[in-house]
Amino acid sequence: MFIITKFILFFNYFCMAFTILLSLVYLAQLIVSFFKIKNDNKFKRSADYDKYGDSDNLLPISILIPAYNEQENIVHNIKSLLNINYPEFELIVVNDGSTDNTHFNVIESFGLYKIESSFKVSISTQKIKGVYYNTKYPNLIYIDKDNGGKSDALNAGVNAAAYPLFVCLDADSRIEKDALLRLGEEFIKNTDTVVTGGIVRIANGSIVENGVWEGFKIPEKMIERFQIVEYFRSFLAGRISWGMTNSLLIVSGAFGVFKKQVVIDVGGYKNDTVGEDMEIVVRIHKYMMQNKKKYLISFCQDAVCWTQGPRELNDIRGQRRRWQIGLMDTLITHRSMLLNPRYKMVGLFAVPYNWIFELFGAVVEVLGYFVIPFTMLMGQLNAFFFILYWLMATMLGIALSIGGLILEQYMKKGCMNAKQGMQMSKYAILENFGYRQLITIFRVEGMLKYRKLRSTWGDIKRREFNQ
């Protein structure tokens, strides 16, 4: 009994220390990102990106849009992408066996007709049913294929891509006009760049006209507001700081540019996973280091993509379970990289960080939610100490969330003005009282259902952007 009590007490302290440590790590990332942005801001005045709009120097790019049951958004998205600011590009829409009107809507809207295709099959995919084209839209290629999942659709797109770079975009996302230009410039600034990712922001409530994001508006639902704060807190600082050391493990599936040949060399996107975006990046790290090739995986915080965040709690639950399963699957698949000096920063820091803080961190946190109050109720834990711990953990959470909002404003590419930032800051406080805990529980649920759900996307509800 004494040993059990001691163990429980030890576990309590461990949970507390872990939570504080995790927050401190995030805080460190926030500070590092702040300095990175400060430095980047200095160069913006003489930066060349806006002069690159008509430059032959930019590598041509294939824009891949995997679409599964995207009847609400797909046509608007294609129209907005056909007007993107980039000198040379092609748009490849891959219909992954949609069961709704996606196929019909695209064919009708653009007057496409079936052509005989001749693609080099570098990566095997499900059967291609047809390739559609219209010379009036010379940049647009539409591929209709049997359902095989997002990865399979992306692989089909990679096969069809004629250009050396490709960007994968979600059909329910919108990129800002200059976003691709900024990402394309990353490959010019450093020719070792093989992957670069942009920032994804929540578009719920925002004004979108003709498929183009026009302005930020605070969304109606509290759950959508929490996600906005969460995206700034979790993604912005984390990705900037990991990108600085070439150890970024994830480039958002909704918005990332890849060197096509590298993706073909590593065998394309993995099919039986829901975390294909992270998996491909980790595999590229592994492949490049194993083959002793110089490479860079970068993050460009100025390239912005807008996406629809879930509006219902149940949809968030599904999304977060999927993300956690994707993370777990990738880490297990590439477990040989863990603490392996062969993989340098990635093996020694980024992968262990993801194992400890992103994967097991959620478990420790959830166990803490139950064990700590239980221990306190049993009279084994000093209540005063517990309250102090709770205050400290909550305040660190609030400091991080507000820090994320400041970082967003500091970028000078903020979607919202600072006044809206002030308004959003109350959600930076409120999210620490229930929302964050709930999200962590969903993540753990994902881990528990790993075997069952590891290759299932589930139903994702799509809705049209506010026009």
Partner 1 sequence: MGVSLLGYELIAIILVFGLLILICLEYLWLYFMAERQEEEQKQQVQANEKIAAMFDAVINSPTEVSKINESKALKEYAQQEKHHLDMVSKCIIDMKSHEDILIDSKKKSLQFIYETVNPVAEYKKFFDENNNQDKAFACRQIADFGAKEEIENIAKYLDSKSSDLSYNAAMSLTVLGDGESVIKYIKKCQNNHKFSHRIIIELIKRFTGDREKLADDLLRDGNDDYIKATVIKAIVAYKYESFEDVFMDGLESSDINLKIACVKALSQIGKPSYEHTLTVLLHDKNWIVRASAIKGLENIKTESAIKAIFGATKDDEWWVRQAAAKSLVNADSELKYVESTLQGYDKYAIDAVKYSLYRYIDIKEDQE
Residues that bind partner 1 (CB under 8 A): 42-43, 45-46, 48, 55-57, 113, 115-118, 120, 133-136, 138, 188-192, 382, 384-385, 388-389, 391-392, 395-396, 398-399, 402-403, 405-406, 409-410, 417-419, 421-422, 425
User: In DSSP terms, which residues pair with 113 in a beta bridge?
Assistant: 133
Nearest to 467 by CA among 291, 206, 229, 260: 206
Query: Residue 114 has which token pair?
Result: 């079936």
Q: How far apart are CA 428 and CA 397, in angstroms?
A: 8
- Closest approach, Cβ 388 to partner 1, in A, equals 4
Q: Are 161 and 90 in contact (CB under 8 A)?
A: yes
What sections of 245-360 are H helices per DSSP? 260-265, 276-290, 313-333, 344-345, 351-353
SS3 per residue for 151-216: HHHHHHHHHHCCCCEEEEECCCEEECCCHHHHHHHHHHHCCCEEEEEEEEEECCCCEEECCEEEEC
Positive or negative torsion for Cα 174, 177, 180, 183: negative
Task: Using the minimum distance from each CB to partner 1, give the nearer residue, 149 or 421.
Answer: 421
Write down the least CB distance from residue 175 to partner 1, Å. 23
Which amino acid, one-letter code, is at 200?
Answer: V
Q: How far is the CB of 395 from partner 1 (least distance, A)?
A: 4
Query: Would you say 177 or 189 has its CB closer to partner 1?
Result: 189
Q: Which is nearer to partner 1, 65 or 141 (CB)?
A: 141
Sign of CA dihedral 242, 218, 78, 127: positive
DSSP code, position 90: E
Query: What minimum distance in Å lies between the beta carbon of 339 and partner 1?
Result: 30
Cβ 456 to partner 1 shortest distance, Å? 35
CB nearer to partner 1: give 339 or 388: 388
Minimal distance, residue 332 CB to partner 1, in Å: 36
Least CB distance to partner 1 at residue 410 (A): 8
- The CA-atom distances, in angstroms, between 430 and each of 21, 26, 96, 398, 463 are 22, 19, 40, 8, 27
